[in-house]
Structure 1
């Protein structure tokens, strides 16, 4: 199976730097499916082409239980197209051989790595079996900025009356970032194959989200892509669908301004409510003596910036479902210019508050600042399981709007929420009932604090629950 990537950009030979593969020598990579060969048929400043030839080991596949798949008990284990077709195994090879390039980083040419380039990609003998509609290849790639040229491969050139085979020779042309182009192939080749010739692991959803970052959540065939990439496994499909929908909502809400409170406190110029929330969280962290902390749902890193500036904190993790938000958080924290010691204290991870992530387990404190109200109510038990039961920090700090206070916002119509993505907003009694049940089930005591202006009957603008693990149960 042969895949080529050609650049015709000025100084086209810089493609080798973006791919982290030297053009003057052929390289081999031992893979679980066989051997990948990488070489450059041409490498000049006007035109540069890299080729990846995947040599599949069919005998090794038969002997390896990991690659038997759904045809493991049939003759298809021995007689199949795996050594000849650009199937999901090519995606495995791309992920292994061009892993660094897929991340979009280049120390030599950082500007080129982040810029679209004129590219031409060829994929030979691409399986497109089981297409529900004609033109699926174009429907998958054209929304991503590619011009698609697909040529059906005949069953036998000597017998044209037999018609076309379920394979196409594919040519893609477009102005696309190299990292994005590789990630498009990594996801969409298994989708067109509609089969995975290896064990679909628990991390498959994470692989899809990382490779689909920036394009999958808004793709018109997102549902089909998710179903096929995840080998039609319902639990994984549901999880990926929820996370992708969340990314899409967050992207659409980027330009929606937050509603500002118009109620004056004793100070004629009170601090913004968002700043008061951050102050309250930092105060709570100091009160409990936290030294390792994760801001789950960190967004663009406003609170993280405060946390990183506190020398008492030895480890700070920012977690968010949106990689776009994490990229902005990295810029907010200016991590590229930070010292090695500072970077060692900080970690940004893509994660969701509704499923278990061992990377945030066992910390002193987890922060959910204005997070819970963005979840559908039926997902709250998953939050409880992942945060309070699995991660089990010593302290959990939760802030959320007080719905009773909403009548004091002049710009907020009656019966509406403070933010377009809020799924609910709790009264003080509702928040307290939820928090008490969570604490009782998971061994936490709960302390309630007010944030912002406090109305004598309606309470504070924001309510805060400070959960502390009870040592003697």
Structure 2
């Protein structure tokens, strides 16, 4: 991902002083998930351009940092290494921190002077919102230009790309431009790589000092910046307007987009739809609640042997290993790399022998018959089915319900109706880029009825997570019990 700043005027090579980066040589900076490079594609007295190039290894995102037990941030193919996202915001604050603060000992007068500057962000995702860039930057005095291409010239029916190349130009202090870009990248980005804590309120107010209070779209900026954490947006607005924030307000809206700490890998499971579940003092993240609910359902079934199908990094498996009732747990996933991470997360190499004897890790596909699936009291399929192509679901059904035939099958999947509670989701958008579909409650009920009729099971459906009176819960769970 690339960010450039161009200074036009006289003695423009002084941009190097303002950025505290020498134009005569390229510099490299180590970040948590890659490297940042600063270099100058053009340098002259009339026009100088500085470029910040962020190079992120997609495999590092999936693996996580060396020594981390929590795994990586993103388990599926996504735009994180290539688009201008929260990673770029973090890189700007790291690499240009002094310039953002407006300090330049050698050229302080220049740092305090509005300059003719042009900044360009490449591959910035606006989700097709044609007006977003103008709404955000034009009130700050910039001339805004966006360029968008179609997804693939060979397939014009696929439509336009959800990404733009954004150019903003204006006469502004360099520190102001950097702070504008730093904040507003996060307004575009729906899937930040770090956990949004209460400290983000002050961070936003610090970087928004002098301009955010007067911005006509300040409420939109705050709402999107906090990724649906409504209470943080309200508190920030109260502080910005000089009112007393309500410290007891805990009405956060759950989002399934972020559950990670800045520069620390997020704990992810096989679904990785979350990388997610917003946390607060008195609120349990959805993924934690889901795993506890499924564990309790397993115990209530009386099972002593369990197969975790699509286990991911073995969050559920880890919980089941702690239960005396469970004597055998097999964790299965199609990805060998995911199983390798699971083994690291479980500390398999130094696991006590009594616990280790309970566990088997197994690579296999859920859409093929596998005799190793047979003989278990209970099979768990947690946030997995929505990742299967619809045309392959009949194969999955047969592999689990016809051939493996566990006494109990516990399956969870998103409730698509609940998605209206996620502020940044567009209509008909799926919660995760790897989801092939998401069922409504009625569609899930129809599918469970089909399973029961065809394979001889009964099913009890329940919800997991905050219950919306109209739209239900974010997760729906079916507990299938074999007849006879």
| TM norm structure 2 | 0.48
